[in-house]
Structure 1
Amino acid sequence: MSPRFLCLPGYLQSGKLFAEKSSGLRKSLTKKKFELLYIDPPVVIKSKEELPFKLSEDEVEANSKWNSIVEQGINRAWWKHSDALGYEGFQESLHYLTKYIKENGPFDGIIGFSQGAAMASIMTNTISRLLDQEFKIAIFFSGFVFTDVENPNDDKTSLNYDIKDIAEYSSKVTIVHGYEEYYLPGASTLNTKIINIYGSEDAAVPAIRSEYLTSIYNGKATVEEYVHDGGHYLPNKKQFLNPIVESVVNVFEEKASL
């Protein structure tokens, strides 16, 4: 039976759009007889006013862009974040994914982009206690951890964009209160191999946030980190993807030989 991957889109993406955006990885893994299943995020964004940014300063143009988003079916997310409401819809998404995996799994691996990568990380960390399963491999593109500032006088945006040293960054942020259980508390370890991929010039999820995601697995899982010199997108060049695909294949060849 072919290894199966569950694929989680990012914010304002559908499974269909994520499949298109990840065509390089998808085609490479499909050729190696892997099965990739792309699903839609369950949280529906009902109006452009719910977005954390303006689509345009011009109202007519903003409405046109919003209508296009709705028509494409990409007005979706894993949660809606705001300082007032926190991660609205997160528990709904966690329940949705748990139920989906229970009914359609098991899955050998999970792949996520941006918000989907953050959700994939949480599922990777918690699936053993939710469903008594583990992924063999988890691949995160532009992922991040739910963080807050350690010192209330610090500005989180400034920390995310100005700090380049992971030790300094780690000393200034903490996991958001109430979400610690989703990030391998205590001595928890994983048998899952983690592949963390991000862009050094990512303006949406600064590289330091993805590097911090790598750091939470140090000593708790086998981690490989791949950094490209671009921004907030899924790299599709074979030269960059080939070692990643090779690493994925090796995981399953190792498991098969045990």
Structure 2
Amino acid sequence: MKVLCLHGKGTSGAIFKSQTSSLRAQLAQKNIQFDFIDGPFKSEPAAGVDLFYPPPYYGFWERGSVDDIRSSCEWLREYISKHGPYDAVMGFSQGTILASAYLLFHEEETPHLPAPFKIAIFHCGGVSFQVLQELGFNITPAMHARDLASRNALASSASAEAILRMGTSRWQGDNSGGGLSEQAIRDEIRGPVQISIPTVHVYGTKDPRYAAGVQLSGVCDPAKRRCYNHGGGHEIPRQSTVTSALVELFEWAMDAVDEAC
């Protein structure tokens, strides 16, 4: 199995490789090749990242408009044509936004063709509201307001100052879900397109972007998705219990593909 790995904004392929080291170690006996790539744009470091990792840092776009995301999807398509095919995609934060947009555009524009991936693993990331609106989803002003608040809260909680002052306790659980249950958050997302391949959704209730991760699960086939709440912040925790759970989910997705073949 060949997995394309898409990092978060203001990090890099090397940083994402480090962030997933525990997961990959437990999958070492599997025949899996992980391909960690850098986004096409140089970037300032994500909040707090420069405390732990040296430059360079990258992103997949600079502004995040629909045109920007479409351009990045075309860049990704060209990369896959040269270096693929890939069986799976695994993204974190902005990498998840790119992967989900790429899959949704495929479902809307070329549903008669095979999906570009057989599996998607989404860590701590949502789906672009601009892309959803482009595809005919109804995104309310209240949803936009909560989404903006969650982005601002993430920038504050992940800052170097917060890390140095509070450590892991900086994740306060202000996840901007608006007091809604997971299912209610999913039910807000309704539209004409859904991601149809097996998907794994990993998020934490203390992550300011928690609701975004849940919303992404709402645009994926409920019969082919698995969700895991690790209870933490905007991160891939390395505790053994979390890693074991992620390994089981990865193996479930692999088995789902085998059963479909």
- Pick from 30, 34, 37: which aligns with 2:35? 37
Worse-superposed segment, 29-38 or 8-17: 29-38
Q: Counterpart of 1:228?
A: 230
Q: Superposition pairs for residues 1-258 of structure 1, below 5 Å? A: 3-45=1-43, 72-74=55-57, 76-81=58-63, 86=65, 89-127=68-106, 129=110, 132-147=114-129, 150-151=140-141, 155-156=145-146, 157-158=148-149, 161=176, 163-165=178-180, 166=182, 169=185, 186=192, 190=196, 192-203=197-208, 205=209, 207-219=210-222, 222-253=224-255, 255-256=257-258, 258=261
The separation in 1 between residues aligned to 2:176 and 2:59, in whole angstroms, is 24
Deviations 1:32-65 (A, max 9, x none): 22110000011223xx6xx898x8xxxxxxxxx6
Task: Compute the displacement of 1:110 (Å).
Answer: 0.5
Relative to structure 1, the CA distance from residue 238 to residue 136 in structure 2 (aligned partners, 3 Å threshold; closer, same or farther) is farther
Structure with the greater alpha carbon radius of gyration: 1
Contact 1:80-1:88 at 8 Å conserved across structures: no
Question: Could you state the TM-score of these two structures normalised by the residue count of structure 1?
Answer: 0.71
The separation in 2 between residues aligned to 1:38 and 1:244, in whole angstroms, is 18
Relative to structure 1, the CA distance from residue 44 to residue 238 in structure 2 (aligned partners, 3 Å threshold; closer, same or farther) is same
Task: Compute the displacement of 1:90 (Å).
Answer: 2.0
Relative to structure 1, the CA distance from residue 97 to residue 187 in structure 2 (aligned partners, 3 Å threshold; closer, same or farther) is closer
Question: Could you state the TM-score of these two structures normalised by the residue count of structure 2?
Answer: 0.71
Identical-residue share of aligned pairs (%): 24
Unaligned runs of 5+ in 1: 56-64, 176-184
Q: Counterpart of 2:158?
A: none
Task: Compute the displacement of 1:27 (Å).
Answer: 1.8
List structure 1 segments (4+ residues) > 6 angstroms apart after TM superposition.
Answer: none
The separation in 2 between residues aligned to 1:162 and 1:232, in whole angstroms, is 15
Structure 1 vs Structure 2 CA RMSD:
3.4
Deviations 1:138-193 (A, max 9, x none): 1000011222751379734458725031565567x779xxxxxxxxx526561x21
Relative to structure 1, the CA distance from residue 136 to residue 218 in structure 2 (aligned partners, 3 Å threshold; closer, same or farther) is closer
Unaligned runs of 5+ in 2: 131-138, 151-174
The separation in 1 between residues aligned to 2:244 and 2:79, in whole angstroms, is 30
Secondary structure of 2:176's partner?
helix
Task: Compute the displacement of 1:216 (Å).
Answer: 1.4
Task: Compute the displacement of 1:125 (Å).
Answer: 3.1
Secondary structure of 1:161's partner?
coil
